Structure 1
Amino acid sequence: MRLPHSTLCMSALTRLLMGCWLLVLSGCVEPYTPEAVTAPSNYLVVNGFINGNGTTRIRLSRSVQISSPSVFPAERRASVAIQSLSGQRYPLTETDTAGLYTSKQLTLPANQSYRLYIRTTSGREYASDYAPLKLTPAIDQLQGRVQSNGVQLYLSTHDDQNLTQYYRWEYEETWEFTSAYESLYRYAGNNRMVQRKEDIYHCWRFIPSTTIVTTSTVRLAQDAVRDYRLLFIPLASERLLSRYSVLVRQYALSQAEFDYWEAVKKNTENIGTLFDPLPSQIQGNVHSLTDAQEPVLGFVGAATVVGKRIFITRADLPRDWIPQHEGYELCTGLDYWPNSIKYKDYTMDDMFGDSVYRTPVARQGTVYTMQTMACVDCRLRGTNHKPSYWP
């Protein structure tokens, strides 16, 4: 059974006994599938949090067996709402993305506690525990500092009221890049080449963070995070070729939510060796109101969100750094039409009719240079639509 952000595992003693048993029967090995793995699994998975100063986004899905494809079925057409302890209700509606529910832009009162309520089409009801809305302090500084082998991003924040103490961050990276070659022409059929009107040479790529980044100041004299090492970019990375940007979002957590994310982090990052902690089933704060014995996966906290974006340009970096054009390592040399040696017996339709393989690049007199689409169309690795926040 595959459970997002959670793992079921045998105890250390069971593992040891099984290891000894396998040694005894090393000549007779049969597949063993634990009952916990083969048991029916269709648990509700709740992913998201209550945003006190913006749009709340909640994704609902169902768990699947380990042997099943890694596609979690969406929980569709559910009734979802934020409820306050004092009785206010803020509905969420399902978007065009199946299982993704969003609210309007909200500014929730800070002196209230909130929970998420869910009713599925089958009539089953679920709710998270009520949680007081945490007010997230501002990010004091987000800075990239040049190291000998790359750029280290540092973050600093603090809370003078000493009320935060538990922090989590997510970030989204964006960078500008170009394809290996700029294609100025396209094949229009009937032996005709026409000039391109769409720029497929300049693109942008977006990568969200995939790691869980948390810290606590409980053991410190002050509720302050100074020069936290958030992200490292190697000097050879394509991200540093032209212009790079990172948007960091900061969340204040309750202790229970912090403990939840720490457990998720250990289960997803610290397994694989004999001395790593054994994975455990993670306890969230979402429960079934219909059947108290039904497992539900996920933790829904409530907090305001603050963000900060910075840019790093090529001019900010040492001149002797040579970032790599990642993804285009095999794009060397150009072929020619109609003087191609490799494709000398091919017609223009053979050469350019299937845009997946070849496309004209530039015209040199009566000859056209050509390359594969993978080497000239940057849209295969990003988007050619310039972000609204880009300079």
Structure 2
Amino acid sequence: MKRHPILLTIFLILAGISACIDPFNPPEVNNSDRYLVYDGYLQANGTDTSWITLSRTQRLQETFKPMPEIAASVSVHSASGQAYTFLPDPVQPGVYYLPPADFNRAEPYRLSIKLRDGKTYESSEQHLLISPDIDSISYEIKGNDGVQVYAHTHDPAGKTLFYKWTYDETWEYAAPMVSMLEVIDKKIVPREISVFKCWDDFRATNINVFTTATLSKDVVRFQPIVYIPISTNKLYWKYSINVKQQALSREGFDYWTEIARNTETNGSIFDPFPSQVSGNITCVTDPKEKVFGYFTGGVTKSERIFITEALGRSPVCFGVDTMSGRDVLNSTMLISNQLPFPDGRYIVAPGNCLDCRTQGGTLNRPSFWR
């Protein structure tokens, strides 16, 4: 009987706490406005194509892909009046490209965007920044768990100070079994194109920046680029990573640092609260309109390495069987090979055992592969 007052007290306390909790729905979360988002980089080395993407913001609870901004007029203008016009990508809506062009690195450039509705946007003038060379890309095997990739660089002149890295990774893999035969026009014939080996790739979207402004020398050592878990099996056959390095202005560094702080924190109460990120692009026709993105450009330096440590496990196949020729013609199973006579039956298996494309890659061997 003595426990009842205690339980009642606890219940009243909890009820009081819950009654004090009101839902918090800030207007930024529920705002239905779709602001323009710019993402891109002006490649100024004369050999690389420049790519930019224009899209619209979306609310936090929306899970679909951002809406692309199509049919826009996009150009870059030098301080002396030279104009460079971007072309719309015919395959990717909202993506625009500028073929390799020679830029005068001694003068600044600004971005100009005109949308279908007549709204125009411009960036502040930005000087093109040349990244120092990447000294090397190294990696370290972390026990049986994964591989950590690092970048190393330095600026002998001590003028870069602010760095940003991105990367593309490509890996080779194979199906568990080899398919020697296939069915064409209801006939079993030798397979002309092998589907045993494939290549897949991934382009990083995370934000990776660092500054040496507080260091005694403009030197970067062991900058983490990516951690590759062995469980992904990307490292079992052959893996390659192409690390790209760009120099930033202090303002550009502050922008990307703030973007990273707002998008890549864990969401705990100890994380910094999201802030209003301000780039260097404004709406000319409506100065009060928010615009997201930071226009910059220069010379990107890159370095590619291959990793052939054979880390991972051999792929396993389930569902291997044998069939007669007649059954094979009426089956969705793929053919590995034919058993020796006099049996004459065929070794068959599901597509994921014999066709590497079922795992997401393609048969196209990259031009840089070795």
Superposition TM-score tier, normalisation by shorter sequence: 0.7 to 0.9
Instruction: Report 1:222-261 matches (<5 A).
Output: 222-261=217-256
Find the counterpart in structure 1 of residue 94 from structure 2. Answer: 99
Q: Which amino acid aligns with 2:86?
A: L
**1:324 aligned onto 2:313:** yes
Q: Quote the Cα distance in structure 2 between the aligned partners of 1:61 and 1:247.
A: 26
Q: Quote the Cα distance in structure 2 between the aligned partners of 1:302 and 1:119.
A: 20
Could you report, residue by residue, the CA deviation over 1:120-159 in whole angstroms, capped at 9, with x for unpaired residues? 1211100111111111110011123444344332221111
Instruction: Report 1:169-318 matches (<5 A).
Output: 169-190=165-186, 192-314=187-309
Q: Quote the Cα distance in structure 2 between the aligned partners of 1:107 and 1:62.
A: 31
Distance verdict in 2 for CA 1:78–1:363, change over 3 Å: same
Q: Secondary structure at the match of 2:302?
A: strand
RMSD of Structure 2 on Structure 1 (CA) = 2.4
Q: Which amino acid aligns with 1:359?
A: L
Which consecutive unaligned segments of at least 5 residues does structure 1 have? Answer: 1-19, 340-345, 353-357
Q: 2:36–2:291: 8 Å Cα contact kept in structure 1? A: yes
Q: Quote the Cα distance in structure 2 between the aligned partners of 1:189 and 1:32.
A: 64
Q: 2:318–2:353: 8 Å Cα contact kept in structure 1? A: no
Instruction: Report 1:22-41 matches (<5 A).
Output: 23-24=18-19, 33-41=25-33
Q: Quote the Cα distance in structure 1 between the aligned partners of 2:17 and 2:89.
A: 50
Q: Quote the Cα distance in structure 2 between the aligned partners of 1:126 and 1:24.
A: 47
Find the counterpart in structure 2 of residue 385 from structure 1. Answer: 364
Instruction: Report 1:116-195 matches (<5 A).
Output: 116-149=111-144, 150-190=146-186, 192-195=187-190
Q: Quote the Cα distance in structure 2 between the aligned partners of 1:62 and 1:128.
A: 17
Instruction: Choose the corresponding residue for 1:81, options 75, 80, 95.
Output: 75
Q: Secondary structure at the match of 2:262?
A: helix
Distance verdict in 2 for CA 1:291–1:152, change over 3 Å: same
Distance verdict in 2 for CA 1:61–1:323, change over 3 Å: same
Q: Quote the Cα distance in structure 2 between the aligned partners of 1:375 and 1:21.
A: 60
Q: Percent identical across equivalent pairs?
A: 32
Query: What TM-score results when the alignment is normalised by the length of structure 2?
Result: 0.87
Q: Quote the Cα distance in structure 2 between the aligned partners of 1:32 and 1:276.
A: 18
Could you report, residue by residue, the CA deviation over 1:163-201 in whole angstroms, capped at 9, with x for unpaired residues? 1100011111111110111111222353x3222111111
Instruction: Choose the corresponding residue for 2:331, options 351, 355, 361.
Output: 351
Q: 1:189–1:349: 8 Å Cα contact kept in structure 2? A: no
Q: Quote the Cα distance in structure 2 between the aligned partners of 1:44 and 1:368.
A: 58
Instruction: Choose the corresponding residue for 1:375, options 341, 353, 356.
Output: 353
Find the counterpart in structure 1 of residue 337 from structure 2. Answer: 362
Distance verdict in 2 for CA 1:351–1:257, change over 3 Å: same
Q: 1:136–1:250: 8 Å Cα contact kept in structure 2? A: yes
Q: 1:359–1:371: 8 Å Cα contact kept in structure 2? A: yes
Distance verdict in 2 for CA 1:258–1:195, change over 3 Å: same
Distance verdict in 2 for CA 1:168–1:21, change over 3 Å: farther
**1:56 aligned onto 2:50:** yes
Query: What TM-score results when the alignment is normalised by the length of structure 1?
Result: 0.82
Q: Secondary structure at the match of 2:352?
A: helix
| Offset, 1:99 | 1.1
Could you report, residue by residue, the CA deviation over 1:16-48 in whole angstroms, capped at 9, with x for unpaired residues? xxxx9971067xx9x875444333312111111
Q: 2:196–2:355: 8 Å Cα contact kept in structure 1? A: yes
Q: Quote the Cα distance in structure 2 between the aligned partners of 1:220 and 1:21.
A: 52
Q: Quote the Cα distance in structure 2 between the aligned partners of 1:25 and 1:189.
A: 72
Q: 1:336–1:368: 8 Å Cα contact kept in structure 2? A: yes
Distance verdict in 2 for CA 1:60–1:185, change over 3 Å: same
Q: 1:175–1:245: 8 Å Cα contact kept in structure 2? A: yes
Q: Which amino acid aligns with 2:331?
A: M
Distance verdict in 2 for CA 1:227–1:38, change over 3 Å: closer
Q: Secondary structure at the match of 1:131?
A: coil
| Offset, 1:253 | 0.4
Q: Quote the Cα distance in structure 2 between the aligned partners of 1:201 and 1:72.
A: 36
Q: Quote the Cα distance in structure 2 between the aligned partners of 1:25 and 1:151.
A: 48
Q: Which amino acid aligns with 1:184?
A: M
Q: 2:147–2:229: 8 Å Cα contact kept in structure 1? A: yes
Q: Which amino acid aligns with 1:153?
A: V
